[in-house]
Structure 1
Amino acid sequence: MTTIYVTRHGQTKWNLEGRMQGRQDSPLTPLGEKQARWLGARLKEVTLSSIHTSSSGRTKQTAEQIRGERELPIIENHSWKEIDLGPWEGRLKNEVEKEDPDRFHHFWNKPASYLPDDGETYQDVIQRAGNELEKLALSQEGKSILLVTHAVVLKALLAYVSEKSLEDFWSGAYMHSTSLTILEKENGRWKVKLEGDTTHYPS
C-alpha cells in the first residue's frame, strides 16, 4: 500500500487580508507556522520516507515547520502549485467580486461554469494534479509520504480519486490550513481514508 498524507499550507498574510493567492505568494503568519508545527507533532510517529511540496514559498515554509528536526528530504515540484488565477491574483476577494461578479460566483458556486479569460479551469487542475498524483504513487510505491500543497489542488486530488463531477468539486470537508487528508493506493485503486481533518488543532 502507498499512503500519501496531504495537507494545505498554514495561514498566510494574504489569507488574513482576504486576497486571492493562486500562483503568487505571501509568507506564513505566526499562526500559520504554529498550525504547521501542530501537524508535525501529529505526524511525529508516522514513518515518512520524504516530503513533497509545491514550489511556492508558503508550502515550503509549511513543509519545513512540519519536518522539524527529522532528517527528511523536501522535494519541490511546480506541478503542485495552486490554480492559476490570472489577473485575480493578489487582489482582494471583495474587489474581484465587485468587478467580475458572475465569474466570481461561478468560481465558488458553479465550478463547471467557471471559465477564466486567463488562468486555469478546475478541469485543468484536476488533470494536472491527478497526473502528478499517479506519478508520485508510482515513484513512491509501498511508502508513506507527505504532500504539502494548496486548497484547490487538494480538492482537485479528491475529485480525481473519487471521480467526482465538476459540479461537486467543492463538496466534502473544508480544507482548513494544515488540515490532514490521507489517500491510499492499493492494488491499483485509490481510497480516501481521511479528509480535511483538524483534530491536531488545540481545543
Structure 2
Amino acid sequence: MTVKPTTIYLVRHGETEWNVTKRFQGHLDSELTALGRNQALWLGESLAGTPIDAVYASSSARTMATAALIAQGSGRHMHVEPCDEFKEINLGLWEGMEIEEAKGQDPVQFQRFWEEPDAFRVEGSETFREVAERASAKLSELLTRHAGQSVLIVTHTVVVKVLMAFFEGREMNDIWQPPYIHPTCLSHIEIVEDYPNIILHGDTSHFREESEEAS
C-alpha cells in the first residue's frame, strides 16, 4: 500500500520596514512594506491550485499578516493558527537595534551569530539550539497531527534555517550556508515514513520584477 506523503510548505514572512532599515527584529515587530505585502500575495497566487489542509504561523504580527495575505492571494479562506514555537529567535538587547550598531557593540557575538551560531548568546537572548528545540518539537507534533496532509507554516529566517537543518541533517554551525532565505521564499518538503524529501529550498520563483531590489 502506498503511503501518502506529509507535505510541509515552509515560508518566511514578507519584507518589513526593519528589514529595509537593517534592524534586528527578533520577538519585536515592524510592519510589512508594500513590497512585503505584494510578495505574500504573489506567493498566494502561485499556491492557488495547491492543496493546503492547515496553516500555522508564528504569533508575531508580521508572520500572521503574511499568512493572511497568502490566503488572500490564493483566493480562499484559510484559518491561521498562531504558534509561539515558530517565533523568531529572541535577540535580547539586540532587538530593534541596527545591525551595524550591534556589530560595533559586540563584534565577538556578532561574528558568532553569523559564523558560529552554536556559540551565540547576548544578554536576554535565546540560543540557536533553544530555537531549534522549540520549533522542531512543534513541527514533530504537526507531522503527527497532519500525517498524509499538506501544511503551510509561515515563520522567520532563523526558524526556517534550523528547521531545514533538521530535515537536511545539517550541523548548527552550517545553517547560514546557501540558500539565502529571502522574504516569502518557499521551501517544500515531502515526508514519507519519516524520510524527508526536499523539493524546494528557498524558492523565489513567485517573485515579480518589482521584488528584485529586495533581493
Query: Under a length normalisation based on structure 2, what TM-score does the superposition of the two structures give?
Result: 0.91
Q: How large is the Cα RMSD of the aligned pairs? A: 1.1
1:15 paired residue among 6, 9, 19? 19
> Given the alignment of the two structures, is residue 64 of structure 1 paired with residue 68 of structure 2, yes or no?
yes
Q: Deviations over 1:134-168 (max 9, x none)?
A: 10111111111211000000001011111211221
Aligned-pair distance for 1:109? 1.6
> Given the alignment of the two structures, is residue 39 of structure 1 paired with residue 10 of structure 2, yes or no?
no
Q: Which amino acid in structure 2 is aligned with residue 126 of structure 1?
A: A
The CA distance in 2 between the partners of 1:36 and 1:111, in whole Å, is 29
The CA distance in 2 between the partners of 1:94 and 1:191, in whole Å, is 38
* Secondary structure, aligned partner of 2:147: coil
The CA distance in 2 between the partners of 1:79 and 1:166, in whole Å, is 18
Matches within 5 A, 1:177-188: 177-188=183-194
1:53 paired residue among 50, 57, 66? 57
Aligned-pair distance for 1:106? 0.9
Aligned-pair distance for 1:112? 2.4
> What are structure 1's unaligned runs of at least 5 residues?
none
> Aligned residue for 2:91?
85
> Given the alignment of the two structures, is residue 132 of structure 1 paired with residue 138 of structure 2, yes or no?
yes
Counting aligned pairs with the same residue, the percent is: 39
Equivalent pair of 1:126/1:159 in contact (CA under 8 Å): no
Q: Deviations over 1:111-152 (max 9, x none)?
A: 122133321111111111111111011111111121100000
Query: Under a length normalisation based on structure 1, what TM-score does the superposition of the two structures give?
Result: 0.97
2:9 paired residue among 5, 8, 21? 5
The CA distance in 2 between the partners of 1:50 and 1:163, in whole Å, is 26
Equivalent pair of 1:112/1:167 in contact (CA under 8 Å): yes
Q: Which amino acid in structure 2 is aligned with residue 21 of structure 1?
A: Q
Q: Which amino acid in structure 2 is aligned with residue 80 of structure 1?
A: F
> Aligned residue for 1:112?
118
The CA distance in 2 between the partners of 1:191 and 1:55, in whole Å, is 27
Structure 1, 175-184 or 115-124: larger mean CA deviation: 115-124
Aligned-pair distance for 1:169? 1.4
In the comparison of the two structures, how many residue pairs are matched?
203
> Aligned residue for 2:213?
none
The CA distance in 1 between the partners of 2:23 and 2:16, in whole Å, is 10
Aligned-pair distance for 1:52? 0.7
The CA distance in 1 between the partners of 2:65 and 2:98, in whole Å, is 23
Q: Deviations over 1:32-63 (max 9, x none)?
A: 00000010011011011121101000001100
1:122 paired residue among 111, 128, 139? 128
* Structure 1 segments of 4+ aligned residues over 6 angstroms from their partners: none
> What are structure 2's unaligned runs of at least 5 residues?
210-215
Aligned-pair distance for 1:89? 0.2
